[in-house]
Structure 1
C-alpha cells in the first residue's frame, strides 16, 4: 500500500541549457510529412458510414427487386414515402430541413475525412528526409520516467507527453528537495535531446512531491 504524498515544490518551465538542435528539428515540411504517416485514420467513423450505406443499399435493392416481381417484402415504408413525396411541395419546410440535415452530415463526414485523428507517436528527426521515425507517446513517457527516476533522491516518477510539453511528477523521500527539480529537468531534457523530436525540444515542467513514510 503506497504511502500518501504531499506536494511541496513545483518547478515551472525554464529554458534548458544549451545544446544544438537535433538534425532535422524545425524542418516543417518533413514534420508535416511524418505526421501524416503516423496519424491514425478515422477507421471507426468510416466503418460505421460504410455499414449504414451498405445496409440501406441492400434494403432498397431487395425492395426494388421484390416490387419488379410483384411481391415487395415491405422492408421499407414505400407507400408512406410515396405519399409523402406526392403531398410535399418544394416550398414546404420539410425539404429544407432534410436538405439542411444532409448538408450538415456531409460537412461533418468531410471534416472527419480531411482532419484525421491525433498522432499516437512523437516524430523523431532523421538525417535522411526520406526516412520517417517515431516513438509512441506511451513509450516515450516510460522512457522519460526512467530518466527522472535515475536522479538520486527520486523514488518514482510519472511523465505525460504532448507535442509541446513534457509534464513530470516525481516523488522523493528526501526532506530537503531543493534543487531536485532542476536535476530532474536536466536528466529528462538530456533524454529528450537523445530522442531528437522533429518538432523541437518541448518545455519540461517538473513537480516534486515529498513522500511521507
Structure 2
C-alpha cells in the first residue's frame, strides 16, 4: 500500500527540525531590542530641565525688571556684581566653579550616554522587526515556579541578570545531594523555552535545608 503525498510530506515535516527563528544570535537585532527595552534616565533629565527652567525664568524676570527700573530682587544681583568685580581669574574661586561645572557636565553626559539597566530580558523573535521581552521580575517568578516543581523543593527565589540566573531553594529533605542539579536542569529547560536572544545564561543553584 503506497503512502499518499500528504502523508510523505507530514513525515518529512516531523523528521526535519524547524529552522531557528530569524534574529537568533544576531548581535544587531540584540542591540536594537536591548535599546528598545532599556529605560531612559527620566528622573535626572526631569530634574535638570526643571532647575534650568527655574533659573532661566528668574534671570529673565530680573533682567526685564531691571530694564524697567524696578528689579524684583529675586536674585542677589548686587552681591554677584561685587563678586565679579573683586574676583580675579587666577583666584581659587573661578577654578573651583569651573571644575564643579565640568564635573557636573561629565556626570550628566555619562547619564545621557549610558542609560539605566534594562528591566526586561529580550526574547528571540521569528520576525527581526518584532521585539519581544519579559520583565526580569516576571522571569524570576516564572523560573521560581520551575524550581519549585522539582520534588523535594519547598520554595525558591530566583534573581535574573543579563548573564546569570541565581536560584536559592529550600528543601525539607535531610539529604539534598543531587537536588541542585535537578533544579538547574528544570530552570535551564524553562530558560530554553523562553529563548533569550543573548543566549542561555549561567544558572547557579544554592539549596538550603529548611529548619522546621
Q: Report the TM-score, using the length of structure 1 for normalisation.
A: 0.86
1:98 has 2:97 as partner: yes
**SS at 1:151 equivalent:** coil
Aligned to 1:196: 195
Aligned to 2:156: 157
Structure 2 unaligned blocks of 5 or more: 1-18
1:69-88 per-residue CA deviation (whole Å, 9 max, x = no partner) reads: 11111111111111221222
Q: Which has the higher helix share?
A: 2
C-alpha deviation, 1:23, in angstroms: 6.0
The total of aligned residue pairs comes to: 194
Where in structure 2 are the equivalents of 1:33-182 lying within 5 Å? 33-182=32-181
In angstroms, what is the RMSD of aligned CA positions? 1.7
Aligned to 2:9: none
Aligned to 1:15: none
Instruction: Single out whichever of 145-154 and 97-106 deviates more from structure 2.
Output: 97-106
Higher relative contact order (CA 8 A, sep 6+): 1
State the distance in 1 between where 2:61 and 2:125 align. Answer: 55
C-alpha deviation, 1:147, in angstroms: 0.4
**SS at 2:203 equivalent:** strand
Higher-Rg structure is 2
Indicate if the aligned counterparts of 1:21 and 1:200 stay in contact, CA closer than 8 A. no
1:121-143 per-residue CA deviation (whole Å, 9 max, x = no partner) reads: 01111121111111000000000
